[in-house]
Structure 1
Amino acid sequence: MWDLLIKGATVVDPLNRIEAVRDVAIENGQIAEVGVDLPGGCARVVEDYTGKVLQPGIVDSHVHLGEMWGSPFGFKMLAMAGVTTCLDMAGPLDNVLKNIPTYGSGINCAILQFASPPFTFKTNEPSKEEMDALIDQSMKEGALGVKLLGGHYPLKPAVSSLLIKTALEHGAYIAWHAGTSEHGSNIEGMREAVELSQGNFLHLAHINAYCRGAIRPELEETKEAIELLLANDHIHCESYISPRNGTRLTCFENGKIQSKVTGNCLKRFGFTDDRDGVEAAFKANKVWAVYDAGGYSDLVTGEAGLKLWKEHNTDVGGSFNVNPPLPRVWLAEAKRPDGSFVVDAISTDGGCIPRNVILEQGLSLVKLGILTLSEFAAKTSLNPARMLRLDTKGHLSVGADADITIYDLDTQKPVATFVKGKTIFKNGKVYGSNGTVICTKYGEEFVKGLGINTLVVDPGKPVADRFVA
C-alpha cells in the first residue's frame, strides 16, 4: 500500500521530461511511482488535485531567517509561499537553529554563517587563522558553509579571495554578496568577485542586485553580468524578481549607516547616508522597516515606520524599491549556447523579509511566455537542488524524496506542499513543525542534539552539469 496517492494534477518534472496529467504515489517519504490513472485502492490516502500544477518542491536558494533581518517567522512565511527547502544566507547560525524547533514549519533549511565584520570578524582584514576558526566552528555547529556579506560589511579584496579558498579547503559551501572595501554591491563589485574567485566554486548571490544602474545604464550592466557568467562557469548563482531589496537600517553611535547597501540606497534616492537620511527617507515613503506583525513579518513606512525605527534604536531590517524590472526579466530568461540557464535559479532573498514571491511573481514569467512551466520548475527546484548537492531533491524520480509543491496557475498561489510525503502546507494553513537542517557530516551530531533532523550533504562534491530544458 502506498502512503499517499496524489491524483489529477499536471505534473511538471524537468529532469524526467514530464509535463502532463499524471498521478504521483508516495511511500516511506519517497516517490514510489509516477503514472497515468494509478489505482486509488493501492493507497491509504488519496488526494485529488485536478486542474492544479504539481512540481518537485520549490527550493529557494537565497533567504534570510535570522531575527536580525525581521522576525522569527521566516520558516512559516516560506512554507505559506510553497517552499519546501531553502538556503539561509547569513544566519546568525545560533539564532536560526534556536528557532527551528519552535518555528521551523517542517521545511528543509541549509544555513550559511555570515563571515563579516563587525559580527563574526573584528576587522575587515581577518587572519587565515581567524577564518579557519570561524569556518571550523560554524560547520561543527551545523552550518553548510559561510557567506561573505561584502555588499553590506566588506572585507579587503585579497582577504575576500583568501576566504573563498579557505572555505573550500574545509569542504564548506561558500557564497558571496559581492563587494569589498574597494568596490561596492554593483557591477564593479560583481566583476571583482568573479576575478577574486580565481576559478573556484562560488555561489554569487542575487545577480540582479548588481544591475541597478549604479555605474552604467542598467541594461548595460545586465549585459556585462551575463557575459561574466558565460565566461566563468565556475560561478553558480540566482536572481530574484521582487522590486524590493533587503538590508539593515542600523546606525553607528556617530550617526553613520552601518550597512554599505543601505548607504547606497539612501544616496540613490537623494538622501544622506546617515541617521538624518534614514529619517528623511521614512518621511518621503522611500524606505520600509521590517517588523513582527504577529506571526509574520510585514513592512511599514512613513511616520509609523520612523517611530518603529526610533523605538528600536535604529536596529531593524529595512527595504527599498531599488530593483528595476528589465534586468530581473532578462536575468531570468538568459541562456547559454547549450540551452542551460546563465543564472541557475530564481530566488527571493526573502524568508522573514516579506517578499517570498517565487510563485506570486515568477509564474507571471510563464504567463508572459518568457519561461515554460518546465523551465520555471528547473529554475525553482532542480537547479537550486543541484547547487546544494541535494541529489534526491528537485525531481520526481522513483526513490527521490517526496518533496512536492502544488499550485494554482490561475491565482499563482500554492495549494499544498509535502516534505518527504508529509503535509507541510494545505489550503492556507501550515501543518509542518520543527524542520530538517541540511549540513555536513561535521555538524550532524550537534544538530541532532538540538532535537532537529538532519540531511547530510557534501558541498565539496562537484556540482552536477547544468540542466538543459
Structure 2
Amino acid sequence: MYDLILRGARVVDPLNGLDAVADVAMENGKIAEVAPTIAGSGREEIDFTGLVVQPGIIDSHVHLGSIWGSPFGPKMLAMAGVTTCLDMAGPLADVLDNVPQYGAGINMAILQYASPPFTFKTSSPSESEMVELIETSLAEGALGVKLLGGHYPLEPKVSSLLVKTALERRAYVAWHAGTTENGSNINGMREAVEMAAGRPLHLAHINAYCRGAVKPEMEECAEAEDLLIANPNILCEAYVSPKNGTRLTCGPDGKILSKVTGNCLRRFGFSEDREGVRAALLAQKAFVVYDAGGYSDLMTGPEALARWEAAGTDVGGSFNVNPPLPRIELARAVRPDGAFVVDAISTDGGCIPRNVILSQGLSLVKLDVLTLPQFVQKTSLNPARMLRLKTKGHFSVGADADITVYDFATQTPVASFVAGRRVLWKGEVVGKSASVICTERGRAAIEARGMKAVTVDPGEQVERLKAV
C-alpha cells in the first residue's frame, strides 16, 4: 500500500517518454510506481481525471528578496504551481530570514548578488574582495553568485575575473549581462559570452537582450541564438512575460540608479531621473510593485506615484518592454544537435508579479510552438539538470515526488507536491518552510536554521538532452 496514489490524469514525463493517462504512486517522498493502472489502493488516493500531472515545475530565474518588491515570493510561486526555484540575487540573509514566516514548502536555490553598491563598494572590487564574498556566501547557504551587470555593472575585466574566481570555487555563476562598457542588450550578451571564455555560465533571461535596443529585435534574436549555439558552455533561460522587473530608486542627485530602469525610461521617451520616473508613472508606462495583502501586485498612475514618493523612490518596479516575437522564437529554437537553444522557460518572477509559466507558457503549446512534452522538458527536466538536481524533473522510480497538477484548458494550477507533501491544495498554499539547494559547504548553516539542505555540486558538467 503506497502513501499516495494520483489517479487518472494525463501524465507527462519526457525523460521516460511518457505522455498518457496513468496513475502515479508515492512512498516516503519518492516516486514509487507509474503505470496505466496501479493495482490495489493507497493510504490516500486523489482522482485527477481530466488534468495534467507533470514533474514539479522548476522556475530557473526568480526573485525572493524583499528589496525587489515584497517577502511574498515563495507563496506567489507556490500559487503558480512552482515546486523549485533559483533565486537570482538574494540578498541571501534576507531570503533565508524570511523563510520561517513566508516559506511555502518549496525548494529554493539562492544566488548572492555580486554587485555595487550592495555587496561590493565600487565597480572595481579586488580579487580578495571577490573571494571573501564567494566563500562567505557559500558557507552561509548560497548556491553561488549572480552578477547584476544590467542593473549595477562592474568593469569588464572585473566581471570576467569574478566569473573565473567563482567557478574555481565550484560555485554556481549567473550573469545578467552588462558591464560599465556595455548594457543589458545584445552587445552586453556578446561581451558576456566572450568573457566566459568557454567556462560554464548561466546567462540570464536571453529575451532581455532582444528588445530592439541595438538592432531590430528579430536580428538581435538571431544573433543571440548564434552565440548560444556556438558556445554550448552557456546555460540559459528566457521568460514569457512582457513585463520586466527592476527598481525605481533614484540617487541623491535625482538620477536613476539601475541601468535597466534607465534603458526603459529612455525607450519610452522619458528622462533617466526622478522627473522621468514621475512622468512614466503618470503616463502608465512604469509600474510600482506593492503589497496587495499577502502577495505583490503592480499599480500605475497617480496612486503609484504617491507610493513611490512616500517610499523615497526606493521601490521595485516594472515596464512592459519585452516584445512577443523574440519570446516565442527563443522558446522554440533548436540547436543543430537537436537540443533547445535556450534551455528553460522561466519568469524572472517570484515576488515580482509575473509568475506566468502556466498562465502564459501553456499558450505556446496551444499555438503549436511547443508540444506539451517539450513544455515539460523546458519547465522541469532541463532546469533540474541546470541545477544538478538528478532526482528531480522526471518520474523515474526513486525520483523526488515533486509534482505539479494543472488544468490545461484554463492554464491554472490545481495542486502541487514537494517530496510527496502538499504545497498547493484547493487554491491555498498549505506548505511551510523551505528546502534549500546549496553546496556541501552550506549544509551546516542551512540545517542550523532548521531547514532541509539539498546539496549539489555546481562544478559538475551538464549534458543537454535533445528536444523531445
TM-score range, shorter chain: over 0.9
1:40 Cα deviation from its structure 2 partner: 4.2
What is the distance in 2 between the residues matched to 1:335 and 1:266?
Answer: 34
| Corresponding residue number in structure 2 for 1:370 | 369
| Corresponding residue number in structure 1 for 2:167 | 168
8 Å Cα contact 2:104-2:431 kept in structure 1: yes
| Corresponding residue number in structure 1 for 2:65 | 66
What SS is found at the alignment partner of 1:435?
strand
Structure 2 residue 118 is the aligned partner of structure 1 residue 119: yes
What SS is found at the alignment partner of 2:285?
coil
Deviations 1:93-129 (Å, cap 9, x if unpaired)? 0000001121110000000000000000000011110
What is the distance in 1 between the residues matched to 2:36 and 2:214?
Answer: 54
Alignment-mate amino acid for residue 285 of structure 1 = Q
1:37 Cα deviation from its structure 2 partner: 1.3
| Corresponding residue number in structure 1 for 2:462 | 463
Alignment-mate amino acid for residue 289 of structure 2 = V
8 Å Cα contact 1:40-1:46 kept in structure 2: no
Alignment-mate amino acid for residue 325 of structure 1 = P
Structure 2 residue 439 is the aligned partner of structure 1 residue 440: yes
8 Å Cα contact 1:101-1:451 kept in structure 2: no
Task: Identify which range, 108-117 or 330-339, moves more after superposition.
Answer: 330-339
Alignment-mate amino acid for residue 314 of structure 1 = T
What is the distance in 1 between the residues matched to 2:74 and 2:308?
Answer: 24
8 Å Cα contact 2:339-2:464 kept in structure 1: no
Structure 2 residue 160 is the aligned partner of structure 1 residue 196: no
8 Å Cα contact 2:5-2:46 kept in structure 1: yes
What is the distance in 1 between the residues matched to 2:187 and 2:15?
Answer: 36
Structure 2 residue 324 is the aligned partner of structure 1 residue 325: yes
What is the distance in 2 between the residues matched to 1:449 and 1:258?
Answer: 36
8 Å Cα contact 1:366-1:376 kept in structure 2: yes
> TM-score, structure 2 length as denominator?
0.99
Structure 2 residue 19 is the aligned partner of structure 1 residue 19: yes
What is the distance in 2 between the residues matched to 1:336 and 1:4?
Answer: 39
What is the distance in 1 between the residues matched to 2:238 and 2:225?
Answer: 12
Deviations 1:415-464 (Å, cap 9, x if unpaired)? 11000000100221111000100000101101111111110111011113
What is the distance in 1 between the residues matched to 2:142 and 2:465?
Answer: 25
What SS is found at the alignment partner of 2:422?
strand
| Corresponding residue number in structure 2 for 1:267 | 266
| Corresponding residue number in structure 2 for 1:279 | 278
> TM-score, structure 1 length as denominator?
0.99
Deviations 1:281-337 (Å, cap 9, x if unpaired)? 011000000011110001011000000000000000000000000000000000011
1:468 Cα deviation from its structure 2 partner: 3.2
What is the distance in 2 between the residues matched to 1:101 and 1:456?
Answer: 20
Gaps of 5+ in 2: none
8 Å Cα contact 1:383-1:467 kept in structure 2: no
| Corresponding residue number in structure 2 for 1:420 | 419
Cα 1:295/1:359, change in 2 over 3 Å:
same
What SS is found at the alignment partner of 1:366?
helix
| Corresponding residue number in structure 2 for 1:97 | 96
| Corresponding residue number in structure 1 for 2:39 | 39
What is the distance in 2 between the residues matched to 1:300 and 1:465?
Answer: 40
Structure 2 residue 88 is the aligned partner of structure 1 residue 55: no
Alignment-mate amino acid for residue 329 of structure 2 = W
Alignment-mate amino acid for residue 25 of structure 1 = A
8 Å Cα contact 2:344-2:383 kept in structure 1: yes
8 Å Cα contact 2:337-2:466 kept in structure 1: no
What is the distance in 2 between the residues matched to 1:427 and 1:230?
Answer: 43
Aligned residues with identical type, % of pairs? 67
Alignment-mate amino acid for residue 417 of structure 2 = F
What SS is found at the alignment partner of 1:142?
coil
8 Å Cα contact 2:334-2:467 kept in structure 1: no
What SS is found at the alignment partner of 2:404?
strand
**Residues 121-270 of structure 1: pairs in structure 2 closer than 5 A:** 121-270=120-269
What SS is found at the alignment partner of 1:394?
coil
What is the distance in 2 between the residues matched to 1:169 and 1:99?
Answer: 30
Gaps of 5+ in 1: none
| Corresponding residue number in structure 1 for 2:352 | 353
**Residues 76-91 of structure 1: pairs in structure 2 closer than 5 A:** 76-91=75-90
What SS is found at the alignment partner of 2:440?
coil
| Corresponding residue number in structure 2 for 1:290 | 289
Alignment-mate amino acid for residue 449 of structure 2 = L
What SS is found at the alignment partner of 1:233?
coil
1:467 Cα deviation from its structure 2 partner: 3.7
8 Å Cα contact 1:101-1:452 kept in structure 2: no
1:385 Cα deviation from its structure 2 partner: 0.4
Deviations 1:359-394 (Å, cap 9, x if unpaired)? 000000000111001000000000000000000000
Alignment-mate amino acid for residue 34 of structure 1 = V
1:237 Cα deviation from its structure 2 partner: 0.1
8 Å Cα contact 1:5-1:40 kept in structure 2: no
What is the distance in 2 between the residues matched to 1:409 and 1:379?
Answer: 16
What SS is found at the alignment partner of 1:416?
strand
What SS is found at the alignment partner of 2:359?
helix
What is the distance in 1 between the residues matched to 2:251 and 2:40?
Answer: 63
| Corresponding residue number in structure 1 for 2:6 | 6
Deviations 1:168-188 (Å, cap 9, x if unpaired)? 111100000000000000000
Alignment size in residue pairs: 468
Alignment-mate amino acid for residue 224 of structure 2 = A
What is the distance in 1 between the residues matched to 2:333 and 2:368?
Answer: 13
